[in-house]
Structure 1
Amino acid sequence: MSEPAVELVWPAREYLPGYVAALERGWSPNNLRPEAGFEELAQIRANPARFLEGLVDREAKGSPVALPDGTIVPRLPGYRRWIWDGELCGSISLRWQRGSNALPAYCLGHIGYGVVPWKSGRGVATQALRLMLDEARTEGLAYVEITTSPDNLASQRVIGANGGVLLEAFVKMPELGGTPELRFRIDL
């Protein structure tokens, strides 16, 4: 079975109904904060244009970020793209720190992604990550780091299929849940 062709689209009004439908089905683009999906629905209902604008913040001008424990940390430059195959498949984001490949301890990786459950197992995440790696290169990154839980074998396969090499097993800081995690690096 061949993989369906996916593309990364900039969040826009034309794609918003599909995104809202996924959120309404209980999907969250944030695997650390499942409630983020419901929070995003509220933001979209309050001001769709502001919500869409907030997903692209290359200058880190947006509000600080709340970690799962409520700790507030500075926002990093970054943006989110939506994974699209004719309908919404999920979301993938890129974040970085200007002038460095290093990330602050509260940021687990340069790239985060999530695929809606009804599209999983179809190679969508593998293709989306491959596309996002091209974008990371254009931002001047020499490599990206991506983390996943030790039991998330699907994500480990996605990272490996894109050249990821395991750097370490570690325990996330308490503000991020204090659970085991694996850190991979993909050289660009």
Structure 2
Amino acid sequence: MSGEQLLQLRRNPERFLHDLYNSPMVRLPDGREVARLPAHDFWITDGEFCGRIGFRFQRGTEDLPNTAFGHIGYTIVPWKQRRGYATQALRLILPLARQEGFSRVLITCDDDNEGSKKVILANGGQPAGTLPHATRPGHVKLSFWVPTA
């Protein structure tokens, strides 16, 4: 979850949740709006809010539009990081991706995000190349295929 999203959540939780789950469009970091993909989204909690994880996809194909960097995205609030929540959440969402017909999912992370790389690798991620980073010149997104079984 970006700093901007956390601020929106704190300012108006009801509006944030409505926009997150009901809007047919998604605003990209560059300001463009694109159609929302089918998705399954979940809060991560230990009795308190820890973060969220989501699986987005196009039915019948593992391909994604060029506006989506991966099938699964997750974020943990800073004060709950390094406790295994993301690793467990990813482990738990993979069977749902399998139920949707996926034998593997694509997950990306920033090249300098060591925590996310560990989460992906702990769940069987296999390196699949790099993509240019849209908002951080000089950085790339690392891509990984993660099996769902």
TM range (shorter): 0.7 to 0.9
Q: Which residue of 92, 98, 106 maps to 1:137? A: 98
Find out whether 1:147 has 2:108 as its counterpart: yes
Q: Please, which runs of 5 or more residues in structure 1 have no aligned partner?
A: 1-28
SS in 1 for 2:97: helix
1:30-109 aligned at under 5 Å gives the runs 30=2, 34-44=3-13, 48=14, 51-52=16-17, 55-56=20-21, 62-109=23-70
CA root-mean-square deviation: 2.0
Superposed displacement of residue 117, structure 1: 1.6
CA distance in 1, matches of 2:113, 2:97: 23
SS in 1 for 2:107: strand
Question: Which residue of structure 2 aligns with residue 26 of structure 1?
Answer: none
Q: Which has the larger radius of gyration?
A: 1
If asked which structure has higher relative contact order (CA below 8 Å, sep 6+), I would say: 1
TM-score normalised to structure 2 length = 0.87
Are the equivalent residues in 2 in contact too, given 1:91–1:114 (CA < 8 A)? yes
Find out whether 1:183 has 2:149 as its counterpart: no
Change (3 A) 1:149 1:89: same
Q: Which residue of 94, 110, 118 maps to 2:71? A: 110
Are the equivalent residues in 1 in contact too, given 2:8–2:16 (CA < 8 A)? no
SS in 2 for 1:35: helix
In the alignment of these two chains, the number of paired residues is: 147
Q: Please, which runs of 5 or more residues in structure 2 have no aligned partner?
A: none
Change (3 A) 1:85 1:139: same
Greater fraction of residues in strand: 2
Superposed displacement of residue 40, structure 1: 3.2
Q: Deviations over 1:53-105 (max 9, x none)?
A: 55446xxxx33111111112111111320111222221111100121111111
